[in-house]
Chain A
Amino acid sequence: TQLLEQSPQFLSIQEGENLTVYCNSSSVFSSLQWYRQEPGEGPVLLVTVVTGGEVKKLKRLTFQFGDARKDSSLHITAAQPGDTGLYLCAGARGTYKYIFGTGTRLKVLA
């Protein structure tokens, strides 16, 4: 079974703190996506990384794809309450096949 493990599973931090979420697998992915899901809604895409070692920035969010394309990280600088949600990574394997991670539930306290 292809598995994407995310860590930590839960994270509760104060506004202004930095954090990193990890997404790890023993499998290679052709690309990897990060989604954020808020309560009562479907996941929304944040970024897609394709090349090993690739780094992408989205305002205070920094995404990195591992050199071997088996892992990824999401770093949030100066977290805000609006960053609260469930963060999901998803690896692409073959055609129409997205393997989702176990999820990281983030709560940012004001």
Chain B
Amino acid sequence: ETGVTQTPRHLVMGMTNKKSLKCEQHLGHNAMYWYKQSAKKPLELMFVYSLEERVENNSVPSRFSPECPNSSHLFLHLHTLQPEDSALYLCASSQDYRGELFFGEGSRLTVL
């Protein structure tokens, strides 16, 4: 596989469920990101990891919990979400802090 892959592509969950989104990059990049894309709003940066260390946490509610076990994998653990959290969650990677972002295809989340 090449590039950035995200699973699942689609997820429907209730407000009391716990689920996780997974991202894997095969590009040898050092940084990985979670972005949220909602209708009519710009892409919102949620978290950034550089060499497995969290370097950015953009005031994201604690019901979103990121995990970066190594430089190739990034998870977003979801717990007690709200309907307004329904969105497309995009994972991206970059070689360094100035490089271009390579995005995955996204995980479309619907919270009922």
Contact = CB atoms under 8 A, between A and B. Distances in A.
A102 B41 CA distance: 6
A33 B100 contact: yes
Given A33-B100, A40-B105, A96 B56 contact: yes
A97 B45 CA distance: 8
B56 A97 contact: yes
Given A4-B42, A96-B48, A97-B45, A42 B106 contact: yes
* Interface size class, chain B: 20 to 34
B91 to A, nearest CB: 8
Interface in A34-51: 35, 40-45, 48
The majority secondary structure among interface residues of chain A is: strand
A42 B31 contact: no
Given A4-B42, A45-B100, A96 B31 contact: yes
A30 B104 CA distance: 25
Contact of B97 (A35, A88, A95): A95
The majority secondary structure among interface residues of chain B is: strand
Contacts of B42: 4, 99-103
A98 B106 CA distance: 18
Interface in B25-78: 31, 33, 35, 41-45, 48, 50, 55-56
A28 interface: no
Contact of A95 (B43, B55, B104, B105): B55
Interface string B68-112: 000000000000000000000010101001101111111000000
7 contacts: A35-B103, A43-B101, A43-B103, A96-B31, A97-B45, A100-B35, A100-B43
